[in-house]
């Protein structure tokens, strides 16, 4: 397995990580814990050393499952988790309420340490910016946790450019986790340049466009009511019809290289910067093996230019019906 360094001062991890969100209910089905523990451990055996979870996934149960699965590999893998939400009594207790006050951050860290069963959280991301708490206060709280040995690296997810600079001045930001793929290229509008300047690594989530870039989603696909993709504008029939042109190109390039569309999409991300580490998620071993094969796919300058051009035709907003304050920059 190839390795990459997350930014100038971050940890060295496998070139492809594993996004664990789907290991607990999120995409319309409920996988068995035993199967997911086995799959996460198989990922380790295949060379994956970077795993992503969050307090809000599950909620809470995802950290517990990841902690159990990775308990035999302490010191050999890097686990990232996140803070910044809490149950909202005004929304049926759903985890939609932002809370990044310093006292809350520190309480979340203690709880996450216990659920993960680790002595220190490798990467602790602020899951979304909290308009009620200055970046400096958030960075200061995480900086305290780093001094106490409870956190190793500070991360941010979906911040603004200004927010990154302000936080970084108080406590060095090691890594950002933003959505980034041929499906969503917002980070190219200044964020990649800023990360290069500050020596910060990037972890793209949803690198396969929530399954769309694999070619598995067509006009015949129907999402269950408990699959959150059913509410996303990019998965309407009209959007799928237009966006299929991108998948057709991925299929063409994949066929020429003896690869799969998913591998081409991941290889495109790996080709953007040497400090980018995508975290595709899956609940199936064959998909895990397929994703990891992307590290061996070489795209030519012509391939990259063709993909760049096609990506400009993607239509549909990312989200619908979620609080605008935490959907992410540019929404």
Domain-embedded: residue 15: yes
The answer to whether residues 183 and 212 touch, using CB atoms and an 8 Å cutoff, is: yes
28 within domain boundaries? yes
Does a structural domain hold residue 216? no
Q: Which residues are catalytic?
A: 57
Evaluate whether residue 152 is within a structural domain: yes
265 vs 257: CA distance, rounded Å: 13
- Cα distances (angstroms) measured from residue 220 to each of 9, 223, 235: 46, 10, 11
Q: Tell whether 319 is covered by a domain.
A: no
Separation CA 255–CA 116 (nearest Å)? 41
C-beta of residue 106 within 8 angstroms of C-beta of residue 99:
no
Give the bridge partners for 179, in sequence order.
205
Rounded CA-CA distance 209/182 in Å is: 8
- Predicted confidence at residue 323, as pLDDT, reads 55
Gap between the Cα atoms of 3 and 208, Å rounded: 20
CB atoms closer than 10 angstroms to residue 185: 16
| Pairing, β 12-14 against β 3-5 | antiparallel
The range of the structural domain enclosing residue 138 comes to 3-209+272-297
**pLDDT for position 154:** 98
CB-CB neighbours of 83 under 10 Å: 27
pTM (2 d.p.) = 0.94
The domain that holds 292 is classified in CATH as 3.20.20.100
Inter-residue contact 154 to 171 (CB < 8 Å): yes
pLDDT tens figures, 4-36:
999 999 999 999 999 999 999 876 678 999 999
CA-to-CA distance for 28 and 36, rounded, in angstroms?
16
What DSSP state is assigned to residue 184? Answer: B
pLDDT tens digit sequence for 257-285: 999 999 999 999 999 999 999 999 999 99
Could you count the other beta carbons within 10 Å of the beta carbon of residue 299? 18
pLDDT of 322: 58
**To 5 degrees, how large is the angle CA 131–CA 137–CA 139?**
105
pLDDT of residue 88: 92
Given a cut of 70, the residues of the chain with pLDDT beneath it are 27-28, 321-331
* DSSP, residue by residue, 61-113: HHHHHHHHHHGGGTTTSEEEEEE-EEEEGGGTTEEEEE---HHHHHHHHHHHH
Report the number of distinct structural domains present in the chain: 1
For residue 109, give the nearest of 55, 182, 36, 67 by alpha carbon. 55
- Residue 70 in domain: yes
CB 102 within 8 A of CB 170: no
Token readout for 263 is 């591998």
**Is residue 292 one of the residues assigned to a domain?**
yes
The reported pLDDT for the residue numbered 331 is 36
Residues 219, 220, 225, 227: is their CA dihedral positive or negative? Answer: negative
Domain annotation covers residue 256? no
The alpha carbon of 152 is separated from its chain's Cα centroid by a whole number of angstroms, namely 19
């Amino acid at each position: 397995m190839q390795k990459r360094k997350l930014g100038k001062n971050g940890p060295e991890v496998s070139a492809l990580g594993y996004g664990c969100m789907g290991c607990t209910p999120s995409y319309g089905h409920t996988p068995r814990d035993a199967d997911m523990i086995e799959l996460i451990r198989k990922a380790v055996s295949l060379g994956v050393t970077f795993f992503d979870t969050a307090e809000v996934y599950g909620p809470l149960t995802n950290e517990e499952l990841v902690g159990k699965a990775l308990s035999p590999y302490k010191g050999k893998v890097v686990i990232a988790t996140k803070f910044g939400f809490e149950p909202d009594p005004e929304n049926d207790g759903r985890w939609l309420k932002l809370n990044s006050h310093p006292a809350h951050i520190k309480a979340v860290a203690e709880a996450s340490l216990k659920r993960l069963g680790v002595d220190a959280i490798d990467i602790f991301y602020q899951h979304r910016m909290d308009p009620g708490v200055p970046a400096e206060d958030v960075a200061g709280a995480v900086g305290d946790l780093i001094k106490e040995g409870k956190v190793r690296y500070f991360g941010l997810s979906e911040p603004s450019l200004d927010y990154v600079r302000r936080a970084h001045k108080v406590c060095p930001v090691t890594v950002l986790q933003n959505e980034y793929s041929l499906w969503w290229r917002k980070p190219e509008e200044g964020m990649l340049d800023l990360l290069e300047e500050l020596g910060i690594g990037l972890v793209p989530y949803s690198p396969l466009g929530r399954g769309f870039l694999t070619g598995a989603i067509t006009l015949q696909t129907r999402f269950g009511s408990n699959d959150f993709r059913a509410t996303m504008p990019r998965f309407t029939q009209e959007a799928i019809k237009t966006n299929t042109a991108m998948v057709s190109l991925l299929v063409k390039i994949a066929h020429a290289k003896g690869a799969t569309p998913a591998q081409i999409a991941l290889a495109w991300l790996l080709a953007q910067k040497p400090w980018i580490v995508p975290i595709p998620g899956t609940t199936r071993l064959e998909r895990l093996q397929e994703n990891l094969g992307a590290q061996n796919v070489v795209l030519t300058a012509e391939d990259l230019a063709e993909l760049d051009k096609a990506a400009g035709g993607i239509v549909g907003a990312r989200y619908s019906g979620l609080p605008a304050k935490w959907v992410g920059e540019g929404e």
